[in-house]
């Protein structure tokens, strides 16, 4: 009798363990890595120089079959990468086709190599030979910040830093927008990838971190291009180039 009871208890334990083993993998708990760089385990791995990798949760897709459905991992879609600064995700934004760079017929008395900026139509023309020009879409000064005149490019800079004028800092602060006293060059900088400084003014032809604004009147007087376009223009002109804003 005692042997029978012991045998029954042993068999019950085996089946219970197997059942618990099966249940243990029915719903696996998610593993989330701490993004806190100051977390103790991060500090032990190498201090602040170690950046934890935080993966997006995979999308779980149920597939029907002869047996129980199984979960299939689907990798997240790849993010577009900037061709100018590899490793930095490109900023999404649409631009109308007419504002993309293109060669056009352009009759002018200005010499080849001159830049003419048509602020009304939001185009920058680099005058070429034989009545042609290379045309780029631009963003221009918003209402109250329009201007016209002729200057020369006095300086060129790659990934320029940005020091907002005190007037701009005060103007934006009155609207509740607080600007930094200075900002290093980089993809987040409003001056973008390149800048060409006009005369002794505060105006520049420069790139942007907001390419969807090309074709609009949004700036404080500067002429902005998409980063890939300002890089192209930058390589085609030199210090001393005449710039006419109309």
Q: Is residue 92 part of a domain?
A: no
Q: Is residue 44 part of a domain?
A: no
d(Cα 106, Cα 20) in Å, to the nearest integer? 79
Contact 30, 60 (CB under 8 A): no
Sign of the Cα torsion 43, 44, 47, 52 reads: negative
Q: Is 43 helix (H, G, I), strand (E, B) or coil?
A: helix
- Report the percent of the chain where pLDDT is more than 90: 51
Q: Is residue 76 part of a domain?
A: no
Q: Is residue 229 part of a domain?
A: yes
Known active-site residue 206:
yes
| 148, HSE (Cβ side, Cα atoms, 13 Å) | 4
Cα 131–Cα 244–Cα 112 angle in degrees, nearest 5: 30
**From the candidates 206, 223, 227, 233, which is the catalytic residue?**
206
What's the pLDDT tens digit per position in 178-209?
A: 888 788 889 989 999 999 999 999 999 999 99
Residue 82: what pLDDT? 41
For residue 160, the enclosing domain spans 97-245
d(Cα 120, Cα 98) in Å, to the nearest integer? 14
**From the candidates 115, 222, 243, 245, which is the catalytic residue?**
222
Q: Is residue 57 part of a domain?
A: no
Q: Is residue 21 part of a domain?
A: no
Q: What is the CATH number of the domain that holds 222?
A: 2.40.440.10
Q: Is residue 172 part of a domain?
A: yes
Taking the whole predicted model, whether its pTM rises above 0.85 is answered as no
Residue 163: what pLDDT? 83
Number of domains in the chain: 1
Contact 240, 152 (CB under 8 A): yes
What's the pLDDT tens digit per position in 150-176?
A: 999 999 999 999 887 788 888 888 888
d(Cα 55, Cα 200) in Å, to the nearest integer? 49
Q: Is residue 79 part of a domain?
A: no
């Amino acid at each position: 009798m005692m042997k029978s009871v012991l045998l029954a208890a042993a068999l019950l334990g085996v089946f219970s363990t197997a059942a618990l083993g099966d249940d243990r993998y029915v719903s696996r708990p998610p593993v989330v890595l701490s993004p806190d760089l100051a977390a103790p385990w991060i500090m032990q791995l190498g201090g602040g120089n170690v950046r934890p990798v935080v993966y997006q949760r995979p999308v779980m897709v149920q597939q029907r079959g002869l047996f129980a459905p199984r979960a299939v991992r689907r990798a997240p879609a790849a993010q577009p990468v900037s061709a100018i600064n590899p490793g930095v995700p490109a900023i999404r934004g649409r631009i109308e086709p007419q504002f993309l760079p293109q060669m056009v017929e352009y009759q002018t008395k200005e010499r080849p190599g001159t830049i003419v900026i048509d602020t009304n139509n939001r185009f920058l023309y680099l005058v070429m030979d034989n009545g042609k020009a290379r045309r780029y879409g631009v963003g221009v000064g918003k209402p109250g910040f329009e201007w016209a005149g002729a200057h020369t490019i006095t300086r060129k800079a790659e990934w320029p830093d940005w020091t907002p004028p005190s007037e701009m800092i005060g103007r934006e602060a009155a609207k509740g927008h607080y600007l930094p006293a200075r900002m290093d060059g980089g993809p987040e900088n409003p001056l973008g990838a390149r800048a060409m400084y006009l005369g002794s003014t505060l105006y520049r032809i420069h790139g942007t971190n907001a390419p969807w604004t090309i074709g609009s009147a949004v700036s404080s007087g500067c002429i902005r291009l998409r980063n890939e376009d300002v890089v192209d223009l930058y390589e085609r002109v030199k210090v001393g180039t005449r710039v006419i804003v109309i």
